[in-house]
Structure 1
Amino acid sequence: MKIFKWIVKIALVIIGVIFLVVVSVLAIDQYQTRYLKNRNKDLANAGTCLVTHVNVIPMTSDTILMDQMVYIREGKIEAIGEAIDVQNVKVVEGKNKYLLPGLIDMHVHLWDRYELGLYLANGVTAIRNVWGMPMHLRIKEAVSNNKIYSPSFFTTGPKLTGPEFIGSDNLQIFAPEEGRERVRSYKKRGYDFIKTYYGLPKDIFDAVIDQAAISGMDIVAHPSNKVPYTYHFNSQIASIEHAEDIVQRALDYKLDTLKLNQLANEFADSPHTSMCPTLMAFYNIYNMLEDDEILSDSMVQYMNPAIKMLDSHTQFDRWHNAKMEDTAVVSRIKNQHEFHLLAIRKLHDAGVNIVCGTDAGIGITVPGYSIHQELSFYRQAGLSNFEVLKAATINAAKTHKIINNMGSIEKGKIANLILVDNNPLIDPGVLKKPDMVFVNGRGLDRYTLNSFEEKSRNRNGLLATLIRFVENSVVEK
């Protein structure tokens, strides 16, 4: 009996120590991201200002409204005009710069709050997280209540796959009714969308789609190999992710332009479904193949430390070894990337809604910065500069009803805006370092945005991220 009591005491001590370590690690991590905390108690006035002498790019049409005023009231655009008479509001002098909607990244993997600052520093004022975990619900609550400076934040629930085990990062569903219950649960808990994934069989997929319609939740679909690619052309599926899966699923790894043309027309016949290309993530495979020192690149130092340890190195080793076994893999990856550009052009020409997404947060695809390379690929694909900007603004906002109150400069829209020195319709590259970013009307100057970048570089949030991974495994499995 005494031995049993000692065992219990030791176990309680160990549990207590673990609990204290976990609480301490998370508290330190939250303390280190306190620079994102919104300390302004007067939230309404913090989102109210008058921007003067600014050139407005509304994104509703390919035009510029020269020398305008934009009145922002309580986080929303109240008026746009040559002369607006309002008293006792903060004035932001536009100095003949250019004001346009903030960028929207529709495919990210967010691992910590530091990354929120990275997105803002790069002019990204809304993000759609597509691998939901309990921590994302806490971030969503903090953002919704204006407790922190952050892009507007939306998230799917955990990734849903079928009975076949394809990785511990996916939630296995074994029966249709279980799929329905997951959808109901995610709706109740506050996730915005459903994420379906590789390996989801038709009977479960059908149940998920049906329940998503009942629950009023859009689906974000990573194409499943258990159904035809065209199965995903469903009104409940708001977007299909990854141009690479056009090649790897729809075309069976063949760079077939005739079949691509047919697919583009079929895609266009499903007007409720957008394409989110994530070209940057695939192109980073080529970057890893070409540069043996890429993990030491200065940009990679902005990746979450746990992801660098668990994913960046793993991906690099995989492709480095593949190159050692067959050097032709380099040209195959490059050729497939070039075909992705053709695919985007074909889809665009067919009338498919192209929305910008980067897959930032995994591999070496850096949050915030990667969106500018992603947009440059759309230009290489043959889209005009205006069409490129649409993909990250008004096109993205069309994808879901809950985000169509942003993406353009119009009366009543959320004042998620960016102010840049030169005309992005001539050179979208000017978006890389916005002079000012507005989130819900609250302006952040370049000095503040630079500090967000500096705080996130080489951060030490490894243990905090690992703890959140463990939490997700316990809660969701």
Structure 2
Amino acid sequence: MKIAKRILKFIIIVIGILLISIVIMVFIEVQNTKYLKVKKNAFANNDSYLITNVNIIPMTQDTILVDKMVYIKDGIIQKIADRIEIKGIEILNAKNKYLTPGLIDMHVHVWDRYELGLYLSNGVTAIRNLWGMPMHLRIKEDVNNDEIISPLFFTTGPKLTGPEFIGDDNLQLTNPNEAREKVVSYKKRGYDFIKTYYGLTEDIFDTVIEQAAISNIDIVAHPSQKVSYSYHFNQQVKSIEHAEEIIQQPLNYRLDTLKLNEVINSFEKSKHSAFSPTLTGYNNIYQMLIDDEILESEKLQFMNPLIKKTDSKAQFERWDNTKLKDSTIVKTIKKQHDFHLKIVKKLHEVGTPIICGTDAGIGVTIPGFSIHQELAFYKEAGLSNYEVLRTATVNASKTHSIMNNMGTIEVGKVANLIVTDNNPLLNLSALQNPTTVFIKGRKLNRDSLDNFEEKARNRKNLIASAVRYLENLIFEK
């Protein structure tokens, strides 16, 4: 009896120490990301500026407005003109530089707040997170309350799947009533969108669509293989994700151009959904196959340590083992990637809005940096530089009504802007390492943006990330 009590006491002590350690680790991470905290009242009008002598790429049309002034007040663009006389305001002389709307990544997976700085350092001023968890509601609240410096933050709820088990990280719905309750709950709790995923059966999918319309909440669809691909062409579904899903589902894993044309025709007729190709996420399979040292590469230093230790490693080992069994897999993956470029080109030609999404945050797809590779792929697919820029600005902003206040440089739009030394309409690489980023009118210079990158490099927050993920598994099931 005494031995049992001693063991129980020991277990309680160990659990207590473990809980205290976890609290300490989470507290340390909060302290380490204080560089993102908004310093209110640090100086007056820190979201009001006058930008002078700048060449504007408004994205309302394929043009450049040469040598203009832009007046920003309280984070909103107030006036654009040749001359603006305003006293008592900080001036940014952008002579010979270019002003572009901030970029929008429409398909990301956020794991910690360090990543918010990585997006900003790459000119990404709005993100759509498509793997919702409780921690994302806290980030959204802090962003909306102007507590932290961050891209504008939008998030789906947890991924909705059907009755069959797909993974611990997915919400397994077993009947339509349960689906209805989840849609109502996610809207009430503050999630911006519903994400549908693998395994949704027709009756459950119907209920999700019906309740989403009633609750006035948009759906983002990772296609379900339990319904036809055309089933996703519904006015409540605002975007369909992943080029590879076209090949895996309606094309039945064949690079069939004739069958692809049928899918393209369906998109053209639907007029409802935008398309987010996430070419970078898929191409990174190819990168893992040709680079045996990719997990130790410089860029992986910016990946969340929990994801790097679990998902990045697991994906690399999966494809490395596949290569050992099948030496043709490298050519197969590359050939499919090239076919994805054809999909993007054909969808663009029939007027389907292409919206830039990278699948950043999982595998080896790095938050922030990945958008430049994604845009380069659209260029390779045959889009002009202006058309490429539209995917990450105006096209993205038109996808959801709650994002309509960004994406172009016009009076009344939120001042999410990037300043570059060179003209991105001539060379898309000009978007990399912007000299200045404005987020809701707040000016971030290159030194601040470089600091965001340095803070995120090799960060030590594995335990804190695991705690947040555990929270999701406990409270969202």
Which of the five TM-score ranges fits, normalised by the shorter chain? over 0.9
Within 5 A, what are the aligned runs for 1:154-193?
154-193=154-193
Match of 1:56 in 2: 56
Letter in 1 for 2:88: N
User: Residues 201 and 226 of structure 1 are in contact (CA less than 8 Å); yes or no, is this contact kept in structure 2?
Assistant: yes
Within 5 A, what are the aligned runs for 1:213-232?
213-232=213-232
* Post-superposition CA distance 1:125-183 (Å, at most 9, x none): 00000000001011111111111111000000000101101111111001101011001
* Post-superposition CA distance 1:250-288 (Å, at most 9, x none): 211111111212211211222221000000000000011
Superposed displacement of residue 424, structure 1: 0.4
Superposed displacement of residue 381, structure 1: 0.5
Match of 1:283 in 2: 283
User: Residues 44 and 74 of structure 1 are in contact (CA less than 8 Å); yes or no, is this contact kept in structure 2?
Assistant: no
Match of 1:107 in 2: 107
Do residues 259 (structure 1) and 259 (structure 2) align?
yes
Match of 1:465 in 2: 465
Do residues 336 (structure 1) and 320 (structure 2) align?
no
Single out whichever of 289-298 and 335-344 deviates more from structure 2.
289-298
Match of 1:96 in 2: 96
Match of 2:451 in 1: 451
Match of 2:396 in 1: 396
User: Residues 235 and 272 of structure 1 are in contact (CA less than 8 Å); yes or no, is this contact kept in structure 2?
Assistant: yes
Match of 1:204 in 2: 204
Q: SS state of the match for residue 248, structure 2?
A: helix
Letter in 2 for 1:124: V
Letter in 2 for 1:138: R
Match of 1:313 in 2: 313
Once residues 293 and 5 of structure 1 are traced to their aligned partners in structure 2, the CA distance between those partners, rounded to angstroms, is 51
Do residues 408 (structure 1) and 384 (structure 2) align?
no
* Post-superposition CA distance 1:206-239 (Å, at most 9, x none): 1011111111110111010000111001110010
User: Residues 44 and 75 of structure 1 are in contact (CA less than 8 Å); yes or no, is this contact kept in structure 2?
Assistant: no
Superposed displacement of residue 387, structure 1: 0.3
Within 5 A, what are the aligned runs for 1:349-364?
349-364=349-364
Once residues 11 and 48 of structure 1 are traced to their aligned partners in structure 2, the CA distance between those partners, rounded to angstroms, is 57
Single out whichever of 11-20 and 403-412 deviates more from structure 2.
11-20
Identical positions, percent: 60
User: Residues 48 and 89 of structure 1 are in contact (CA less than 8 Å); yes or no, is this contact kept in structure 2?
Assistant: yes
Match of 1:84 in 2: 84
Once residues 33 and 145 of structure 1 are traced to their aligned partners in structure 2, the CA distance between those partners, rounded to angstroms, is 17
Once residues 174 and 47 of structure 2 are traced to their aligned partners in structure 1, the CA distance between those partners, rounded to angstroms, is 47
Once residues 243 and 46 of structure 2 are traced to their aligned partners in structure 1, the CA distance between those partners, rounded to angstroms, is 40
Once residues 3 and 78 of structure 2 are traced to their aligned partners in structure 1, the CA distance between those partners, rounded to angstroms, is 72
Match of 2:142 in 1: 142
Match of 2:386 in 1: 386
Superposed displacement of residue 3, structure 1: 8.1
* Post-superposition CA distance 1:78-110 (Å, at most 9, x none): 111101121111111111200010000000000
Match of 1:20 in 2: 20
Letter in 2 for 1:363: G
Match of 2:293 in 1: 293
Once residues 325 and 279 of structure 1 are traced to their aligned partners in structure 2, the CA distance between those partners, rounded to angstroms, is 25
Match of 1:304 in 2: 304
Q: SS state of the match for residue 45, structure 1?
A: coil
Match of 2:430 in 1: 430
Q: SS state of the match for residue 68, structure 1?
A: strand
Once residues 44 and 232 of structure 1 are traced to their aligned partners in structure 2, the CA distance between those partners, rounded to angstroms, is 49
Q: SS state of the match for residue 270, structure 2?
A: coil
Once residues 120 and 306 of structure 2 are traced to their aligned partners in structure 1, the CA distance between those partners, rounded to angstroms, is 22
Superposed displacement of residue 443, structure 1: 0.5
Once residues 77 and 2 of structure 1 are traced to their aligned partners in structure 2, the CA distance between those partners, rounded to angstroms, is 73
Once residues 401 and 433 of structure 2 are traced to their aligned partners in structure 1, the CA distance between those partners, rounded to angstroms, is 29
Match of 2:366 in 1: 366
Once residues 15 and 133 of structure 1 are traced to their aligned partners in structure 2, the CA distance between those partners, rounded to angstroms, is 25
Q: SS state of the match for residue 158, structure 2?
A: strand
Rate the CA distance shift 1:163–1:361 in 2: closer, same or farther, 3 A. same
Letter in 2 for 1:294: I
* Post-superposition CA distance 1:43-67 (Å, at most 9, x none): 9821111000000000010000000
Once residues 2 and 282 of structure 1 are traced to their aligned partners in structure 2, the CA distance between those partners, rounded to angstroms, is 59
Once residues 8 and 81 of structure 2 are traced to their aligned partners in structure 1, the CA distance between those partners, rounded to angstroms, is 72
Rate the CA distance shift 1:369–1:144 in 2: closer, same or farther, 3 A. same
Once residues 164 and 41 of structure 1 are traced to their aligned partners in structure 2, the CA distance between those partners, rounded to angstroms, is 53
Letter in 1 for 2:86: V
Once residues 5 and 302 of structure 1 are traced to their aligned partners in structure 2, the CA distance between those partners, rounded to angstroms, is 47
Letter in 1 for 2:381: A
Letter in 2 for 1:434: P
Single out whichever of 84-93 and 99-108 deviates more from structure 2.
84-93
Once residues 138 and 44 of structure 1 are traced to their aligned partners in structure 2, the CA distance between those partners, rounded to angstroms, is 27
Once residues 351 and 64 of structure 1 are traced to their aligned partners in structure 2, the CA distance between those partners, rounded to angstroms, is 24
Q: SS state of the match for residue 158, structure 1?
A: coil
In the alignment, structure 2 segments of 5+ residues that lack a partner are none
